[in-house]
Chains A and B, each alone.
Chain A
Amino acid sequence: MKGFNHIALAGVFLLIGSVASAQTITVSPNGEVKTIAEGLELVQPNDTLIIRQGTYLEHNLMVDKPVTIIGEGRPVLDGEKKGFILVITADDVTVKGLEVRNTSTSFMEDYAGILIEETRNTVIEDNRLIDNFFGIYLAETDKAVIRNNYLSASGERETSSGNGIHLWYSKDTKIEDNYVRGHRDGLYFEFVDGAHITNNLSEENIRYGIHFMYSDNCSYVENTFRDNGGGVAVMYTSNVEIIGNRFEDNWGSSAYGMLLKEINRSRIENNHFENNSVGLYIEATSRNEVKGNTFRQNGWAIKLMANSTDNMFSENNFIANSFEVSTNSRRNFNEFTGNYWSQYEGYDLDRDGVGDVPHHPVRLFTILVEKQPQSLLLLRSLLIDILDAAEKVMPALTPETLIDIKPQMDQIP
């Protein structure tokens, strides 16, 4: 009995010992451990690695144990364009407070500042990623959290620049409060499931603010996408929630506030589209709810291709857009109802707040410009207004059924 007690006691001590051994290893330029590679060798699972202020010229740092890496005074990890910088392959890794710079650029390999591969529960928080090819690259991860990071690159061409936050085959990822600029695509999602993208700002990227494909059941909420080369592209996806985002200042002949291609059963609500060449471009997209959005001062508020069906546009505000809706067919398979159109010229005799005559958002001039883009020069000409008025009375070229039968008299709050 006594012997057993001893063994039990020894067991308890062993247990305490292993908990207590979750120790901290400190890397500092003038300390015992001078390189991060050395520190990563020394750490045991569940340890914390603290990196003190300084510049570390290191690359291809493998994080293959579940550890917490914390930067104090924002240490700089400079890869000197020699490869990856941090490569995380273990579960439960947390990385905080680092500045990661200068990965290689390559046409063959996707070099990333922080590469996260086949892991669970990775947390990447409060880091700065400057001038990397790819910023944060997640492949086949589960439950990762990317929060409050600052990513900036100065790529000039699509081919020589990578994506800011890149997700591939990842599940249940949270991406919050990040800032991305100057990458190819600010955020890139392919075959991602259940991501929540909240409150990020993605601007001045070469191609898209967010590039989103084959990624079902995701939501992006209250993000801002501004002045990106092509705006935002959301493609080949079902069941996305796009709520409360801002799409601003995307100018160019192929720049869209948001491009939807083959998006089904999704909600696009309370977003703000301002100052884009095309606010919302919709192609082969069906059964979506577009509700409560504001389209302000866009060239075209909505370009709706006729292969899109059964979309419901309601309670949106269309304010001072050059063109409200344009389409490429005389037939209409979508429904517009209860929107506010600032170009509406009807009246409300019974004073119920709903205009008494339907609104035709597609003008004759929209069709003319579609056929001969040069005629855009005649925008706001008296002649065009006369032609539009005539077309409104007797629709001959514009889709007769693309009308809002309940145009609101006042802006919807």
Chain B
Amino acid sequence: MKALTILNYQWKDLIRGKWIFGYALIYLLITDALIRFGGAGPKALLSISNVMLLLIPLVGMIYGALYLYQSREFTELLLAQPLNRKTLFWGLYGGLAVPLSAAFILGTLLPMLYNGMFFGEQIASILLLLGLGLILTLLFTGIGFWLGLAFFEDRIKGLGFALVGWLFLAVLYDGLVLLTIFVLGDYPIEKPMLALTMLNPIDLARITVLLEFDISALMGYTGAVFNRFFGSFYGMITAVTSMLIWLALPLYGATKRFRKMDF
């Protein structure tokens, strides 16, 4: 309950800061424009998922770290109160992650609702997209918190790591994967390749999107391992499970650090 009270304070603070509205507005405008100009087809959903895969990790990580720095005084004040540290952590984390998720979901959902797209036949795809966005927001805000706590005294370093981390996961990692494929392509590397993508949460989310929208292309691949992986529900389940594990990891790290930290 106390966590909720803290969450509530954080929430009010965020609203005063107004940028959360800006964040929601970005999704609203993008989604609206995509549907308005591209039609309410799978193409709009694909573009939204592309934006989502790009923006959520960036915003989550940067703001995760930044928010800890900004609310430092507030945190220190609360630490002086008879409060469990765990409660305090979840209050702070929820205070950022919940509004961020809400901003994403509302921003994307509203245009779909008033365009009537949501009630079409693509409702499963839309729900998958929203769910993925939600998990990604929670996950990357968690990573942001972790980085923020790890470099609590050195903000530049914390933010720098958040930026570089994003760049690495979103772009460079795939470059390494591509390089590996072209260097070792003659060997049976499909299983290691799948494992490699499981190690990057952005890639995991991307694969989940592929499973939903590009299954006909994935099935065109001439390899038994991929076909078995993608062709069954097994692929989707593995991807989502790995993402949940990914979600737990930074949060576990961050809570551990937060509990032991000397502020």
Contacts and interface: CB of A to CB of B under 8 A. Distances in A.
Given A320-B42, A374-B190, A377-B193, A383 B217 contact: no
Interface string A353-393: 00000000000000010011111111111111110000000
Looking at B197, B217, B222, the one whose CB has the most chain A CB atoms below 10 A away is: B217
Interface residues on A, range: 35 or more
A322 B214 contact: yes
Contacts, number: 106
A123 to B, nearest CB: 40
B220 A252 contact: yes
Interface stretch (A80-88, A131-139, A141-149, A274-282): A274-282
B189 A320 contact: no
B227 to A, nearest CB: 7
Contact of A299 (B185, B190, B203, B214): B214
B128 to A, nearest CB: 15
Contacts of A154: none
B43 A319 contact: yes
B124 to A, nearest CB: 15
Nearest to B219: A251
A376 B221 contact: yes
A297 interface: yes
A323 interface: yes
A412 to B, nearest CB: 14
Contact of B227 (A253, A319, A322): A253
A342 interface: yes
A383 B220 contact: no
A278 B209 CA distance: 20
A220 interface: no
Interface stretch (B87-95, B132-140, B171-179): B171-179
Interface residues on B, range: 35 or more
Contacts of B185: 372, 374
Contacts of B206: 380-381
Nearest to A383: B174
B50 A380 contact: yes
A84 to B, nearest CB: 39
Contact of B221 (A253, A297, A381, A384): A253
A383 B42 contact: no
Contacts of B54: 382
A111 interface: no
Interface string B144-169: 00000000000000000000000000
Contact of A374 (B42, B170, B174, B223): B223
Nearest to B38: A342
A119 interface: no
A322 B220 CA distance: 11
B216 A298 contact: yes
Contacts of A379: 210, 214, 217
Contacts of A300: 217, 220
Interface string B27-55: 00000000000100111001001100110
Contacts of B223: 373-374
A278 B174 contact: no
B110 interface: no
B181 interface: yes
Nearest to A278: B220
B175 to A, nearest CB: 5
Nearest to A321: B217
B207 interface: yes
A342 B34 CA distance: 12
B43 A342 contact: yes
Contacts of A323: 217
A373 B193 CA distance: 12
A252 B220 CA distance: 5
Contact of B219 (A253, A375, A377, A380): A253
A299 B216 CA distance: 5
A375 B223 CA distance: 12
Looking at B53, B172, B174, B227, the one whose CB has the most chain A CB atoms below 10 A away is: B174
Contacts of A386: 171
A320 B43 contact: yes
Given A377-B197, A382-B170, A322 B50 contact: no
Given A253-B219, A374-B223, A378-B177, A320 B171 contact: no
Contacts of A319: 41, 43
Nearest to A381: B174
A241 to B, nearest CB: 27
24 contacts: A251-B216, A252-B219, A252-B220, A253-B220, A253-B222, A253-B227, A255-B220, A277-B220, A298-B217, A299-B216, A299-B217, A299-B218, A320-B41, A320-B213, A372-B185, A373-B222, A374-B185, A378-B178, A379-B210, A380-B209, A381-B203, A382-B54, A383-B172, A384-B174
Interface of A: 251-255, 275-278, 297-300, 319-320, 322-323, 342, 368, 371-386
Q: Which are the 4 A-B pairs with shortest beta-carbon distances?
A: A299-B217, A277-B220, A322-B217, A383-B174
Given A251-B220, A254-B222, A383-B171, 4 more contacts: A253-B227, A373-B221, A377-B181, A380-B209
